[in-house]
Structure 1
Amino acid sequence: MIITYKQTDGTVEQVSTNDLSAIESADIEEAMGGTAWRVVEDQLRGQDPTAMRAVLWASRKRAEPTLRFGDVDVPGWRRRLKARLEREEVDDVLENLMAEALAASEDSAIEAMLPHLRKLAENKGDIEAALDALGKGHLVKAPAGSED
């Protein structure tokens, strides 16, 4: 996941969870009351402000080791803070859906997930590339009015 925070001066702070160390991930789990990492990831997909703030905090601690989680606030988080999927995560979701779709010989599971993936993907081209890689390029076209 990529966490993006557009600060009041217009600068953008961006952190990928792929760049976190194991210790930083453990620090996030602890700061969130012992929440397991897989739950943190689910909360990030759900745009949970505490989970997104925790990732920013862990990243900022690299430069400011004494920074406390409670001291990190994100004013206007609803419009300025986002969690987005990276290509690897798009691939994982589509591979799982593909396995389900092949088992049922249908594309409906993939089609049902595409609007959500298009909304969450950091790079919209990743959706097309992942579908092409799965041999499902015919599902690429976004429905009219689905722009973000």
Structure 2
Amino acid sequence: MIVTYTHPDGTVEQTSTNDLSAIESADVEEVMGGTAWRVIEDRLRGQDPTAMRAVLWAVRKRDDAALKFAQVDVPGWRRRLTCRIEREEIDEVLDNIVAEALAKSEDAAIDAILPHLRKLAHDKDDIAAALDALGKGHLVTAPEDSED
């Protein structure tokens, strides 16, 4: 997942949770009260500001080891802080849905999740690429969703 914070001056701070080390991920779990990483991922998908802030903190600590979680604030977080899924997460969701859909010989399950994936995708073209990779490229022509 990619956490993005657009500072008030317009500069963009962006990081992928895939780039966190195991220690950094454990630090995020710790500052979130011992929350398991799978729960943190769910909270990130839900745009939870504390989870997004914790990821930013872990990355910022690379340059300032003494930085405390309480010192990391994200003014205007509702407008400036987002978390979006990456291609590998899109592939994982679609793989799971396709396995279920193929068992039933239907595309309805994929169609149902596409608007959600389009909203969460960091790169909207990843949706079409993932569908093509699954042999479901015919589903790409769904109506355009509005930008968030």
TM over 0.5: yes
Q: SS of the counterpart of 2:94?
A: helix
- Residue 112 of structure 1 and its aligned partner are, at CA, apart by 0.6
Does residue 24 of structure 2 align to residue 17 of structure 1?
no
Q: Measure, in 2, the Cα distance between the counterparts of 1:147 and 1:81.
A: 19
Q: 1: distance between equivalents of 2:62 and 2:43?
A: 23
- Residue identity in the other structure for 2:111: E
Equivalent position of 1:133 in the other structure = 133
TM-score of the superposed pair, with normalisation by structure 1: 0.97
The 3-state SS of whatever aligns with 1:5 is strand
Equivalent AA in structure 2 for residue 74 of structure 1: V
Give the drift of 1:143: 1.2
Indicate the residue corresponding to 1:5 in structure 2.
Answer: 5
Q: Deviations over 1:30-67 (max 9, x none)?
A: 00000000000010011000000000000000000010
Deviation at 1:142, TM superposition (A): 3.0
Match of 1:49 in 2: 49
Normalising by the residue count of structure 2, what TM-score does the alignment of the two structures yield? 0.97
For residue 124 of structure 1, what is the aligned residue in structure 2? 124
The one-letter code sitting in structure 2 at the alignment partner of 1:25 is: S
The percentage of counterpart residues that share the same residue type is 74
CA distance in 2, matches of 1:103, 1:70: 49
Q: Which amino acid is the alignment partner of residue 98 of structure 2?
A: M
1:93 paired residue number: 93
Q: Give the letter aligned to residue 147 of structure 1.
A: S
1:89 partner SS: helix
1:104 Cα deviation from its structure 2 partner: 1.3
Give every structure 1 segment of 4 or more consecutive aligned residues whose post-TM-superposition deviation is greater than 3 Å: none
Structure 1 unmatched ranges of 5 or more: none
Structure 2, unaligned runs of 5 or more: none
Letter in 2 for 1:34: G
Tell me how many residue pairs correspond in the alignment. Answer: 147
How much does 1:147 deviate? 2.4
